[in-house]
Amino acid sequence: MKFLNNLKVALQIGYFKIELVIVLIVFSAIGCHQLHKIRSHGDLIVNTESGLVRGHRFHIPSVISPIDAYLGIPFAKPPVKKLRFRHPQPYGKWEGVYNATRLPNSCFQMPDTVFGADFPGSSAWNPTTKLSEDCLYLNIWVPKTTPKLRKSAVMVWIYGGGFYSGTTTLNVYDGKILAANSSIIVVSVAYRVGAFGFLTLNHPSAPGNAGLFDQLMALEWIQRNIKYFGGDPENITLFGESAGAVSISMHLLSPLSHSKFQRAILQSGVANMPWAFTTMEQAKRRGIDFAIATMSCNYTDIEVLVDCLREVPDYILAEHQYITRGIMQFPFIPVIDGSFLPEHPKEILKKGNFKHCPILLGSNKNEATFFLIYELTDWLNLTSIKMTKTDYLESMNRLFFTHPHPNRVTYPFVMESIQFQYANWLDEDNYVLNTQALDAAVSEYHFICPVNQFAQLYASLGENVYMYYFTQRYSTNPWPAWMGVLHGDEIMFVFGEALKSLANYSEDDKKLSRIMTEYWVNFAKTGDPNQIPGVRTTQDWPLYTPNMKEYLELNSKFLDDPDSTKAVGRGPRIKECAFWDEYIPQLNAVIGSLVHPFTKCRLSILIFTLIFFTTN
């Protein structure tokens, strides 16, 4: 006792560093002999509400200050056996010191092998750690410059992958560089994907949205424990891409999540995208079809059916889960469950029943090409493209056979409108122009226009919205040039991949990465990407408003130009989005209300007239 009193006095007068408090905690918890063993290896100990956590210190060649990383901290019980398909349960407390020095398992999924294991364009998105249903872990990167007594802003990454794939363990998601260069704490969280995370049978054994509840439980753990790592639980920003961004936008809409964070960054994903959610009826139908197709689990009793599915090996479930057809038709996705997602996302937005906070969001120039090369294999590949007018028309029919028409009656007229809107009238058999037209149609319908609509609805209720449009193709991009600026290309700029000391990126890439990192971090710290106290960026990012609709084009050639107006645009693609958001719904409504007063010929004339006057 006398030793402890003397040590307290020494701390008060500055003879010892404040970090010695950690020694006292560990000393009392695990004893002297274990304490000596831990400290002799230079490990780092943090005392959380779940127990003691051991981290590891990384020294980065391009950064002066080291990073303390805590990798693979469990936040929920392993969702295995009877917990498969169910909502997560808290992990509880562990005994002793939890060793959080390695990246955790990746949630079970089927790796992408379409282009072979050696093609970096696709293999870069494959899990790098063991596949397992025991996968509910999070990672924390803390810059050594973070004072223990000062709370730092926190950025929480949620990965994408169409809700059927994704992991925190990808190289591009490594939070070390972002944390080290910004003095911000970076966290990444895992959630179940595919049937494991989103099988829906409207029953407690398979209620749906388990993956979203995984995320919610991780956010609850972060909110309770991030202070022990030097983080501010009242200054948390969620950021994610694709399905990760969709997830975050659903946290914005869900009454269960509102208190868990303060700001959101949505990269190429919002809740109102056509592929982002489904109804309970459709989700249950898919779930039953999946059960029958997988292992003939054909039972009318849902509990018996789920018990049957729980006996199926994980790899068989993953292999058989793609039961849907068509581009962007992911089989297991979030569902309107009346709990996490109370009603249709657009209705929540229109009513203003969302979290009122600043958001930053945007889309990429060629969002669709990544999906087109997988879907249109007869015409598009890594070495060449072939897209005649006939190919173009057939491709359009394939790409939109499920959307955006409500029934068979309207299908031919909607398809005729889409083909007319995007047709290349000057050179009908030009492979490049026809492929670009397909990319434009799918990008605008599935990504760009929903992002615009989300921003519009959010800003219309007075929220601060910042929109970007990402247009820079990075210098080492392994995908063919015709694919342009792909879905997901902005991620490496945000995480600082180009800033690694041995990275072989161009100076323009490094410049843009520094600028984007600054914008993202400024927004996370203050809610404004333009500044932190006393520091301003070189290019002001205007607020997106319902009238002006201004966005910032993220491209080094514009952001570095003395004429700052070149980087600011309006929209993007306002006219094209009016086609999807206004014209097509009106067309469906008009045709759907007709019984038989028009022949197809007369309807075609009507469609042509409507398009002509809409676009001129």
Delimit the domains of the chain by residue range.
20-357, 369-614
Q: Could you read off the pLDDT of 461-483 as tens digits, one per residue?
A: 999 999 999 999 999 999 999 99
Is 416 among the catalytic positions? no
CATH superfamily of 369-614: Alpha/Beta hydrolase fold, catalytic domain (3.40.50.1820)
What confidence tens digit (pLDDT) does each residue in 400-423 have? 988 877 777 888 999 999 999 999
pLDDT of residue 34: 38
Task: State pTM to two decimals.
Answer: 0.89
- Classify residue 117 as exposed, middle or buried by CB count within 10 Å of its CB (0-12, 13-18, 19+): exposed
344 is catalytic: no
Residue 157's SS3 state is strand
Q: How far apart are CA 189 and CA 136, in angstroms?
A: 8
**593 — pLDDT class (breaks 50, 70, 90):** confident
Q: How far apart are CA 29 and CA 21, in angstroms?
A: 13
Q: Pick the residue with more confidence: 438 or 17?
A: 438
Most confident of 18-22, 80-84, 495-499: 80-84
240-262, pLDDT tens digit by residue? Answer: 999 999 999 999 999 999 999 99
The CA–CA distances, whole Å, from 491 to 159, 242, 269, 496, 605 equal 10, 11, 13, 9, 45
For residues 235 and 237, give the distance between their C-alpha atoms in angstroms, rounded to a whole number.
7
Residue 326: CB atoms within 10 Å: 14
- Of the residues 251, 403, 405, 487, which is catalytic? 487
Q: From CA 517, how far away is CA 494, in angstroms rounded?
A: 5
Which run of H or E residues covers position 234?
Answer: strand 231-241
Average pLDDT in the 202-230 region? 98
Percent of the chain with pLDDT over 70: 86
pLDDT (0 to 100) of residue 322: 86
User: How much is the pLDDT for 605?
Assistant: 60
pLDDT, one tens digit per residue, over 496-533 is: 999 987 778 999 999 999 999 999 999 999 999 997 65
pLDDT, mean of residues 120-132: 97
Question: Which of 76-85, 251-260, 374-383, 498-507 has the lowest average pLDDT?
Answer: 498-507
Radius of gyration of the chain (CA): 26
Given the residues 367, 490, 497, 518, the one annotated as active site: 367
DSSP annotation of 189 reads E
CATH number for 20-357: choose from 3.40.640.10, 3.30.1490.20, 3.40.1410.10, 3.40.50.1820.
Answer: 3.40.50.1820
Return the pLDDT at 38.
35
Count of positions (residues) in the chain: 616
Q: How many angstroms separate the CA atoms of 25 and 21, rounded?
A: 7
Amino acid code (one letter) for 123: S
What residues are paired with 132 via a beta bridge? 107
Taking the alpha carbons at both ends of the chain, their separation in whole angstroms is 85
Query: What are all long-range contacts of 230-233, with beta carbons under 8 Å and residues at least 24 apart?
Result: 230/142, 230/146, 230/147, 230/148, 230/150, 230/151, 230/152, 230/185, 231/142, 231/151, 231/152, 231/153, 231/154, 231/185, 232/151, 232/152, 232/153, 232/154, 233/154
Q: How far apart are CA 207 and CA 177, in angstroms?
A: 38
33 noted as active-site residue: no
Contact 179, 185 (CB under 8 A): yes
Same fold, 20-357 and 369-614: yes
Average pLDDT over every residue of 368-390: 97
Q: For the residues 210-222, what does the mean pLDDT come to?
A: 99
The one-letter code for the residue type at 270 is V
Task: Return mean pLDDT, the chain.
Answer: 89
Residue 148 pLDDT more than 70?
no
